[in-house]
A and B are shown apart, each in its own frame.
Chain A
Amino acid sequence: MTQGSEGTGVAGTLPPRRTPAARLVEALFGVFRTMEVDLRLAGMIVALVCIWLGFGWASNGAFLTARNFYDVSVQSVPVAIMATGMVLVIVSRGIDLSVGSIMGLTGYLAAMTQRIWLTENLGIPTASPEIWIIAVVAAIAIGALIGAIQGGLVAYIGIPSFIVTLGGLLIWRGLIFKLQQGQTIAPMDRNFSVMGGGLSTTGPFGAPGGALGEWPTWIVGILLCVGIVYALLASRRKRREYGFPVRPPWALAILMIGGCLAALGAMFAYTSYPLPILLTQRYAQEHGIVGADAANLVIPVGIAMPVVLLLVVGLVMWYVTTRRQFGRYVFAIGGNPEAAELAGINTRRTIMGTFILLGILCAVAGCIQTARLDAGVTSTGTGYELLVIGAAVIGGTSFAGGIGTIQGAIVGAVLMQSLKSGMVTIGLDSPMQDVAIGSVLVFAVGLDTVVRRRSK
């Protein structure tokens, strides 16, 4: 009874004070809640779209081309891959300042493996398929080893992760210069450089080299759609089985259609980027295409190889984070380390695991970057620690521990790269770019902090 009378009281006094806009926002929030979508992620995607549209307008459309979409997505990949691992480290109340140096060292070692040890020393002919595999595996093994050393010092000796990885930042970078006197090693093995997304006339799927070309791109798009639909239906069926409430059908339909349209839209953008004219001509020459056929030849580039790798890494990391015991433990440690310990969790091994995982991801990023530059250089990854931490934090990871998502970190990385590329496109000078990125970082985290406090 009391509740009822209170209800009418509220209804009688409140609406006049509320603007239509506020009511619209309120209604939208209600819709999002019913759809069970992550509000923070939705907000970030809206911000990302605004950034693209804003720079597109400011650059008279130059920013909104398929080519730029390709470039921005490829440039985001190394930071995004490392940020997914950084999320787990920060969630368990740690930090890793050495990611840029690990990326540099592992990338350089991958270059040395393929250009010096395997070919010059062991005499394996260049472009043999085992070369790129061994180079990548070696880089990953070193990344894991470095992660294990740093994680072990943090978890078992108890040295603060800030200090251990600050030391690592200097140590791993310094070691690069001790290998091969810091010379630039170039070019990379043909098969290895494919994972960098650079365009050339040869690649595993034909013309576009570091990208998949037209039909494989659409297959990726269709696989993504099938995955989205399957994931939504499977979780729904499971919840039904146990008699838990499920989303209403309209919400399910919106999520399915929205997800599939986004995936197919991205694939459309990739396939509408044609191979640049010079490369197309060279392809025509190599394949004996002449005359009108050559003049009319359009080769769609398709989805970039590094982006495919990011999709795979993102999926694996999402699975590890949300569906595996390891991920659950990382979050438990971040939320309440003592409770995790009392629940019988091996907290030290778990924390060491987060550093190993991040070390492996740094190696993957190092290989991709080295392949993209088509050279092993000493400066690879310099300053990346700040971009990676920034991407994770913009993506909603909390330094207090216990909060963060993989998808948020990936969107955070794309957001930062979009800002950077956009500012280059409109001709903002480099110091102002730093000012802008720094401001956005503080603003984003400030907004997040305020919203989180309000919601409590």
Chain B
Amino acid sequence: MSMAGKSKSAPAVTQAPLVELRDINVSFGGLHAVQDVTVDLRPGEVVGLVGGNGAGKTTLIRTLSGAHPADSGQIFIDGRPVMIENPRDAQELGIETIYQTLALADNIDAPGNFFLGRELKTRTGSLNDAAMESATRSVIGRLNPNFKNFKTPVTSLSGGQRQSVAVGRAIHFNARILIMDEPTAALGPAETQQVRDVIKQLKSEGIGIFLISHDIHDVFDLADRISVMLHGRLVGTVNKVEVTTDQVLAMIIMGKLPSEVSSTDLARLHG
């Protein structure tokens, strides 16, 4: 278990968080998918958002990316309340999202997807495909040097290449806040390592990252703090250096904070 990188000076606690989601509620019909959840994120910090299937992680984060507005609750950016009603609002606030589904239009090529919704245009207002392809080549070339298919629809690309398009798109537009929903779920070991390197690089540039992941090792490797959700509620947020994987697992499975976990609980956890 790598604990490196923590020697870097942590941001001052008094500083206003880059993002704060406060008392967020989302329900679908009778189902309360997210209930009174409050989480925050500071510049240059990675906050891991973990929990079992259906814990409400993705739903919570979709309120920040504008994909699905919250029923109630507030969002603060740099301490100021903001309204995020659609993905465009989020983009304008410097929030970029890499969705678990990648959200790519399969019939369009990599540059088209890269600039989808934010196309570069010529003086006459036409699409400037050459400029878009050029920018895409340079960004994706850094992420994935083997990427060559810039003219074919992305449906013909491998999982890793598709991921490169989605990651490249998120980092190209000078995001301040990055949301990554299971960024390594579909990837092989080498590609997973590339994504981890990208996350560390972005973190060092001062970007705040919400990282949603099933993989507790990913989270322990990359996150500074870990927020755990269970059944739509926040179990708690802990500093990574102060907990063990077992304690986080207890939070995920039993919904108990480290201070509440007894040794019998831990024994049960290991079956």
Contacts and interface: CB of A to CB of B under 8 A. Distances in A.
A340 interface: yes
Contacts, number: 80
Interface in B71-108: 86-88, 91, 97, 99, 101-108
A402 B107 contact: yes
Given A241-B130, A242-B134, A338-B101, A344 B108 contact: no
Contact of B116 (A238, A242, A334, A345): A345
Residue from A319, A334, A344, A345 having most chain B Cβ neighbours under 10 A: A344
A209 B86 CA distance: 55
B130 A239 contact: yes
Contacts of A319: 126
Q: Is the interface of A mostly helix, strand, loop or mixed?
A: helix
B151 to A, nearest CB: 9
Contacts of B157: none
Given A239-B130, A344-B87, A344-B88, A339 B116 contact: yes
Nearest to A319: B126
B48 interface: no
A340 B105 contact: yes
A336 B87 contact: no
Interface stretch (B22-30, B117-125, B231-239): B117-125
A359 to B, nearest CB: 23
B118 to A, nearest CB: 8
Interface in A309-338: 319, 322-325, 328, 331-332, 334-336, 338
A335 B116 CA distance: 12
Given A331-B107, A335-B108, A343-B117, A242 B126 contact: no
Contacts of B218: none
Interface in A30-75: none
Interface size class of B (residues with CB under 8 A): 20 to 34
Interface in A338-373: 338-345
Contacts of A238: 130
A243 to B, nearest CB: 8
B67 interface: yes
A238 B106 CA distance: 26
B127 A332 contact: no
Interface string A364-406: 0000000000000000000000000000000000000011000
A343 B130 CA distance: 21
A396 to B, nearest CB: 13
B83 to A, nearest CB: 15
Contacts of A345: 116-117
Contacts of B117: 340, 343-345
A331 B125 contact: no
Contacts of A402: 105-107
Contacts of A322: 127
Nearest to B124: A323
B112 interface: yes
B107 A334 contact: yes
Interface centre among A331, A336, A456 (most CB of B within 10 A): A336
Given A242-B134, A344-B88, A344-B91, A328 B119 contact: yes
Contacts of B108: 328, 331-332, 335
A324 B119 CA distance: 9
A264 to B, nearest CB: 28
Nearest to B87: A344
Nearest to B156: A456
A325 B116 contact: no
Contacts of A239: 130
A244 interface: yes
B127 A339 contact: no
A343 B65 CA distance: 10
B191 interface: no
Contacts of A244: 130, 133
A407 B98 CA distance: 36
A328 B112 contact: yes
B209 to A, nearest CB: 18
A340 B103 CA distance: 8
Contacts of A341: 67, 87
A338 B103 contact: yes
Interface of A: 238-239, 241-242, 244, 319, 322-325, 328, 331-332, 334-336, 338-345, 402-403, 456
Given A344-B87, A344-B117, 9 more contacts: A244-B130, A323-B127, A332-B108, A335-B106, A335-B107, A341-B87, A342-B103, A344-B118, A403-B107
26 contacts: A238-B130, A242-B131, A323-B127, A324-B126, A325-B119, A325-B121, A325-B127, A328-B116, A331-B105, A331-B107, A331-B108, A334-B107, A335-B105, A335-B107, A335-B153, A336-B105, A339-B105, A339-B113, A340-B105, A340-B116, A340-B117, A341-B87, A342-B65, A343-B116, A343-B117, A402-B107
Top 5 nearest A-B pairs by Cβ distance? A335-B105, A343-B117, A335-B107, A402-B107, A344-B88
